[in-house]
A and B are shown apart, each in its own frame.
Chain A
């Protein structure tokens, strides 16, 4: 069975500092990995995806993610955090059968001024 795990329920970062939100995956075969962000009472917004190719994927709002096959990780990163980045972040893997997304538990990111 395919799954992703986000080991941290909450990440706290000071504005201007780099941020990392962790995600590890367990899949058979090549993974299709995604990051989504959810603001309060809003839908999920697509940030970036890894399908194949370069291990460093760049996405929206200055976010990037590094795919590491040996560590089965797909951590989300940003060089300089903004207060407006505070939100709930979900890592997800695409099910190779029906195409549904399988989400991690979510990580609450809090960026303080």
Chain B
């Protein structure tokens, strides 16, 4: 089954304790990204990657890191989490089509990771 998986699904942690949220897709997609969803603000993109070793900032990258060492995995790293990073996080993937475009392609989202930073 084609899917995007995320782990953990729920996490409660304390300020400053490094954590990693994993994301994996089994569809051989080139493009992967991370979003956070907050009440009243909708979903906002944190980071994206167009392929292995190619990553770039989205709209709200501060306080986050990512890596893309393998095509299927795109972990989100919070090196020193703070309470304002309490949020619902989604990983997404999509294929890159003709001439590098993704505009017309479906994006597949993971089930979400609910993070609470105390």
Asked whether A and B interact, the reply is no
